[in-house]
A and B are shown apart, each in its own frame.
Chain A
Amino acid sequence: MTQSKEMIATRVAYGKELLELGKKNPNIVVLDADLSGSTQTKFFAKEFPERFFNMGIAEQNMIGVAAGLSSTGKIPFASSFAMFACGRAWEFVRNAVCHNMFNVKVCATHAGLTVGEDGGSHQIVEDIAIMRVIPNLTVIIPADATEAKLATRAIAEFFGPVYMRLGRSNVPVLFDENEYDFKIGKAYIIKGGIDVSIFACGIMVSKALLAQEALQSEGISAEVVNISTIKPIDKETILSSVKRTGCAVTCEEHNVIGGLGDAVSSVLSESCPVPVKKIGIMDQFGQSGKSDELLVHYGLTKEKIAEAAKEVIKLKS
């Protein structure tokens, strides 16, 4: 797989696909909390004003209203920044949506550090942790625009509550839509290797691929696995990879506590204990800066991934 030069934010792909889905399915309704320009629901809003509900800056109510709409057979997509959709409205996602098993899609943008200049108050690095612990909730993190598009389509067809984590910043397009059969709950081995498994999600998938290339030039064969569904996690693919490689590195734009690293480690510790290193944010808040600068500052780089890979390989018994 070679990385395309094209750069598109996952939120942009989401907004475009939402508009397309709106044309095909009259039951799709969209809610936003005064951020439709940022979350990209504005395209749907313009085309289908009667199916778009701006709830103002009131995320709890937005999720509760989405639950009510779903009870009438609508398929609500509720969007805001991840900080507010997951953080502020967590108890509504938990009680109004998931405990009720309502068919609501919480599609939140601006997750992680790559919000950039807005700084720590807006850079949620805890959402994977707090969302994946909610029973009934499916958690999806697209790695690029193609996956975001296909995942948006897939969750509209899937019955049940979903959290989809999307980003603000442009990221490389990794996948070709015509060659990609996206399925909820499936992890994808996107580069085969035998020395180490690199499990990544979201924007870190492209960094993992760069690390894989760097390792290859040093004679190390790394396998890169895209865990686009965090929950339910694809245990089978994770275990089959690690049974070949014997060690693992996890990469996420999230706190190392509670996120992808812990989800993968949990699978491994129960069924195939091997050395694991986690690349992520080391239990700190973010700060203002350019996206790329922030990723370097907090150690979310191909160099750090490659280093971690070499360390876990050494730890193999």
Chain B
Amino acid sequence: MSLSEEKLTELKEITKDLRRSILKMTHAAASGHPGGSLSAVEILTVLYFSILKYDPQNPNWQERDRMIISKGHSTPLVYSILAKAGYYRGDDLLTFRQLGSPYQGHIDRLKVPGIETSTGSLGHGTSFAVGAALGCRMDKLNNRIYLLQSDGELQEGSTWEAIMSASHYNLGNLTAILDRNRIQLDGWTEETMTLEPIAKRFEAFGWHVLEVDGHDMNQIHDAILKTHEIGPRENKPCIIIAHTVKGKGVSFMEDNVKWHGVAPNDEELKMALREIE
């Protein structure tokens, strides 16, 4: 079932708040990763506010869905969305990246509730997701495992070890979403190290592949629901390749390599916030 107009309007407002927060946090820290946070805003908004089962009062609730963030550098987005989801108030989000802050540069499960595993070193999340999926299946839990992958981390060999093992173990309870923003730190992914054809590569490794516009929340939502049927039916892990724009929502950041790991200054913050209305 698609999202209602009312729900979509609500989610759109959330994406605006998240984009503002991402910009303010990186500005305050004078460092961080705005580009890859902005590209995944719609993906995580749909997940946290229309799909995932979780209880912010009981982050370790056994039956919860597992949301594993393999792109651990998208911290400004993750910390902002966990606050919005009610895990904490988030009044102190602007301490991001400062000494003593719980909001580390890359996500840390021991410092912030709602994080399944600390990542940041790329090529880890998929392995963790395979382990979580195996464990939840052993316990016959009525839940699903969701994984947000970055495209750059498909260059890590360990990611493919994990992809291979997910289909070997028939993990129909796993839905991965790839933030295909096409840019990594040094430039375009295809110039740095060719990733395409990504869909064929996943298919060859035994996954079911879907593709969506990663900023169209209806498409994201519907594709996730499809994986709920296809995964268990075919006993296959599913991946949704979400085609996104790095820096989405801020014109001067969009598709610009510079904004992978650079924070906006005072002037740029003002310009950026004006665009998010």
Q: How far is the CA of A100 from the CA of B126 in the complex (A)?
A: 15
Contacts of A95 in B (CB 8 A): 118-121, 124
Determine chain A's interface SS by DSSP, over half rule.
Answer: helix
A192 within 8 A of B: no
The smallest C-beta distance from A255 to any residue of chain B, in angstroms, reads 26
Report the stretch among B26-34, B127-135, B200-208, B216-224 that lies at the interface: B127-135
Chain B's closest residue to A102 (CB) is: B117
Quick check: A64 and B131 within 8 Å, CB to CB?
Answer: yes
Report the stretch among A15-23, A69-77, A274-282 that lies at the interface: A69-77
CB neighbors of A among B99-148 (8 A): 109-110, 116-121, 123-124, 126-136, 138-139
Known A51-B138, A68-B127, A100-B109; contact A61-B132, beta-carbon cutoff 8 A: no
Chain A 45-74 near chain B by CB (<8 Å), digits 1 or 0: 000001101011010110111111111111
Quick check: A71 and B131 within 8 Å, CB to CB?
Answer: yes
Determine chain B's interface SS by DSSP, over half rule.
Answer: helix
Q: How far is the CA of A74 from the CA of B110 in the complex (A)?
A: 18
The smallest C-beta distance from A225 to any residue of chain B, in angstroms, reads 35
Chain A 9-41 near chain B by CB (<8 Å), digits 1 or 0: 000000000000000000001000000000000
Name, among A74, A76, A95, the residue most crowded by chain B CB atoms within 10 Å (CB to CB): A95
From A29, A55, A76, A100, give the contact of B117 (CB < 8 A): A100
B169 within 8 A of A: yes
Q: How far is the CA of A249 from the CA of B158 in the complex (A)?
A: 41
Chain A residue total in the interface (Cβ 8 A): 29
Quick check: A72 and B135 within 8 Å, CB to CB?
Answer: yes
Chain B 155-190 near chain A by CB (<8 Å), digits 1 or 0: 001100110110011000000000000000000000
Q: How far is the CA of A95 from the CA of B127 in the complex (A)?
A: 12
The smallest C-beta distance from A30 to any residue of chain B, in angstroms, reads 12
Quick check: B138 and A67 within 8 Å, CB to CB?
Answer: no
Q: How far is the CA of A73 from the CA of B63 in the complex (A)?
A: 12
Contacts of B110 in A (CB 8 A): 100-101
Contacts of B128 in A (CB 8 A): 64-65, 67-68, 71, 96
A99 within 8 A of B: yes
Contacts of A61 in B (CB 8 A): 127, 130, 158, 161-162, 164-165
Contacts of B132 in A (CB 8 A): 68-69, 71-72
Chain B's closest residue to A74 (CB) is: B135
From B66, B118, B169, give the contact of A53 (CB < 8 A): B169
A91 within 8 A of B: yes
Q: How far is the CA of A89 from the CA of B130 in the complex (A)?
A: 17
The smallest C-beta distance from A97 to any residue of chain B, in angstroms, reads 10
The smallest C-beta distance from B155 to any residue of chain A, in angstroms, reads 14
Quick check: A60 and B127 within 8 Å, CB to CB?
Answer: yes
Quick check: A65 and B117 within 8 Å, CB to CB?
Answer: no
A199 within 8 A of B: no
Q: How far is the CA of A92 from the CA of B127 in the complex (A)?
A: 10
Known A61-B165, A64-B162; contact A96-B127, beta-carbon cutoff 8 A: yes
The smallest C-beta distance from A28 to any residue of chain B, in angstroms, reads 12
Quick check: B121 and A68 within 8 Å, CB to CB?
Answer: no
Known A56-B165, A92-B158; contact A99-B134, beta-carbon cutoff 8 A: no
Residues of B whose CB lies within 8 Å of any CB of A are 62, 66, 109-110, 116-121, 123-124, 126-136, 138-139, 157-158, 161-162, 164-165, 168-169
Residues of A whose CB lies within 8 Å of any CB of B are 29, 50-51, 53, 55-56, 58, 60-61, 63-74, 76, 91-92, 95-96, 99-101
Contacts A74-B138, A96-B127 aside, 4 further interface pairs with beta carbons under 8 A come to A55-B161, A56-B161, A58-B164, A100-B117
Pairs across A and B, CB under 8 Å, 11 listed: A58-B165, A61-B161, A63-B127, A65-B127, A69-B134, A70-B131, A72-B135, A73-B139, A74-B138, A92-B124, A95-B120
